[in-house]
Amino acid sequence: MTDAKTRIDETVKAHDVVLYMKGNKTMPQCGFSSRVAGVLNYMGVDYLDVNVLDDDGIRQGIKEYSDWPTIPQLYVKGEFVGGCDIITEMTLSGELDQLFDANGVTFNKDAAEKIREANS
Q: The CATH number of the domain where 71 resides is what? A: 3.40.30.10
Per-residue confidence at 7, pLDDT binned at 50, 70, 90?
Answer: very high
Task: Count up the domains in the chain and report the number.
Answer: 1
Tell me what the mean pLDDT of segment 19-37 comes to. Answer: 97
Q: How many CB atoms sit inside 10 A of residue 42's CB?
A: 15
> Could you tell me the residue range of the domain that residue 99 belongs to?
3-118
**Is the pLDDT assigned to residue 1 strictly greater than 70?**
no
Separation CA 61–CA 40 (nearest Å)? 23
Tell me what the mean pLDDT of segment 29-34 comes to. Answer: 97
Tell me what the mean pLDDT of segment 36-44 comes to. Answer: 98
**Per-residue model confidence (pLDDT) at position 48:** 98
Per-residue confidence at 120, pLDDT binned at 50, 70, 90?
Answer: confident
**59: which residues sit within 8 A by CB, 6+ positions away?**
52, 53, 71
Contact 43, 107 (CB under 8 A): yes
Full-model pTM: 0.95
Tell me what the mean pLDDT of segment 77-99 comes to. Answer: 97
